[in-house]
Structure 1
Amino acid sequence: MSGFDTEQPEAADPQRLISPSTATEPVEGGLRPIKRLTSDDRLARIHPETLAKTELLYYSDFARTFVRSDYNFCAAKMTVARGGKLLALEAEFHTAEAFLRKALAWANRLHGRSAPFTPERVTLEIKHPMSGRLVRLLTIYDQLFRKTMEALVARSVMAHDRQAALDAAAARIKQIPQVCMPDNDRYAPEGVLLPDSNDTH
């Protein structure tokens, strides 16, 4: 895509999600399985730094999927993040925000033709300032989604260029849950992720 770098971040860590069926199915020996808190439960139990709600209007499948699978997890982890983990999150937000601003500026320069869109909406809890920043990133992604769709209708952007921009923007946002996964003590004070002592080589 001319004039716009769509380089994506390095590959994400292994999946953190555990299938609900494996968390609740009985095991041999008669012991009751451990009931894992869902992200919704975890977020509900956290004493907030800020307490607000916002309504997010979204149009894209990416925003819908992220809200359903990652937002509450990130919001809970951000609320309890300390020390080096906060620095790592701040750095990742800075990178993602700069990338999405650049992508949206590129999309705004494209000639577009108005197209009808019907948004979905969801109410999200904001218990930490970083949760609000995450909502803004999703909002910018959706603006990019709509602007490039209008440009596609006007034939001022190629479909593969549009998809490359959306994929790169989504990859930048998806890095935030990856930074949220490790516990606080896995980060050095300067925000560098330390090796996992449980890893075997």
Structure 2
Amino acid sequence: MAVTDMETPEAEPNPSAPAPTSKGEGGLRRLDRLTNDTRLARINADTLAKTELPYHSGFAREFLRGDFNFAAAKMTVARGGKLIAIESEFRVAEGWFRKAMAWANDLPKRQTPSYPEFVTLEIKHAMSGRLVRLLTIYDQLFLLTMGALIARSLGSEARQGTLEAAQARIKKIAYLCIFDNDRFAPEGILLPEPGQTH
């Protein structure tokens, strides 16, 4: 049974495409170098909290290691139209996830043992707390649809489509964080780059 009312937002560039750097012995960059703690350390916090977040999915792992600190830092300094745009995208994403979780909770499923990994996150702004909440819900959706897949109440293509749509909702928030405050109109619309007609 496929999810029919859950659209994926328009594809946006990946905000965290890492530049090539030196590689370790195994050929891959160490993940702890991607957390970029110094970016958040320079921010004066509106709130100050740390949380240890469990996660199961590869998407959550990569987003937390590659995109979270960047987005959290940019949210802290967002003002005017940019703040409105990010807030609006949060509302859209949260509404989408409510529908997705209601749908996934109704699917017949089998319980499977799961063993999460953990990451400690610094929360310096209310919006970064909302982003953590969306990632937590994504991870729950990941586990629920895995149980439904095992019970054969959900096909692999339908599951993949749902997870990709969920990922796109979170990535859209991170995408909006890339731009400076002056790239947004007061009502929260992202303006074209200077020199572009539309």
Paired position in structure 1 for 2:161: 164
Aligned equivalent of 1:42, options 39, 42, 52: 39
**8 Å CA contact retained: 1:6, 1:164:** no
**SS of equivalent residue, structure 1 residue 8:** coil
Shift of 1:40: 2.6
TM-score by length of structure 1 reads 0.86
Q: CA RMSD in A?
A: 2.0
Shift of the 16–170 alpha-carbon distance from structure 1 to 2, 3 Å rule, reads closer
Paired position in structure 1 for 2:26: none
Query: What amino acid does structure 2 have at the position aligned with 1:157?
Result: L
Work out the CA distance in 2 between the residues paired with 1:153 and 1:97: 27
Query: What amino acid does structure 2 have at the position aligned with 1:12?
Result: E
**8 Å CA contact retained: 2:107, 2:148:** yes
Shift of 1:11: 1.9
Work out the CA distance in 2 between the residues paired with 1:71 and 1:83: 22
Work out the CA distance in 2 between the residues paired with 1:65 and 1:192: 28
Shift of the 124–150 alpha-carbon distance from structure 1 to 2, 3 Å rule, reads same
Query: What amino acid does structure 2 have at the position aligned with 1:184?
Result: N
**8 Å CA contact retained: 2:46, 2:125:** yes
**8 Å CA contact retained: 1:4, 1:106:** no
**SS of equivalent residue, structure 1 residue 188:** coil
Aligned equivalent of 2:79, options 79, 82, 89: 82
Work out the CA distance in 2 between the residues paired with 1:99 and 1:167: 13
* 1:147-173 deviation per Cα after TM superposition (whole angstroms, max 9, x unaligned): 011111111111111111101000111
Shift of the 39–180 alpha-carbon distance from structure 1 to 2, 3 Å rule, reads farther
State percent identity of aligned pairs: 62
> 1:51-62 residue pairs with structure 2 within 5 A?
51-62=48-59
Query: What amino acid does structure 1 have at the position aligned with 2:4?
Result: F
Larger radius of gyration: 1
Shift of the 160–2 alpha-carbon distance from structure 1 to 2, 3 Å rule, reads closer
**8 Å CA contact retained: 1:40, 1:73:** no
Alignment partner of 1:112 is 2:109: yes
* 1:73-132 deviation per Cα after TM superposition (whole angstroms, max 9, x unaligned): 000000000011000000010011111111111000001111011000111010000000
Q: Where does structure 1 differ by over 2 angstroms across 4 or more consecutive aligned residues?
A: 1-6, 13-18, 198-201
**SS of equivalent residue, structure 2 residue 54:** strand
* 1:18-50 deviation per Cα after TM superposition (whole angstroms, max 9, x unaligned): 51549xxxxxxxxxxxxxxx8432211000000
TM-score by length of structure 2 reads 0.87
- In structure 1, stretches of 5+ residues that fail to align are 23-37
**SS of equivalent residue, structure 1 residue 116:** coil
Report the number of matched residues. Answer: 186
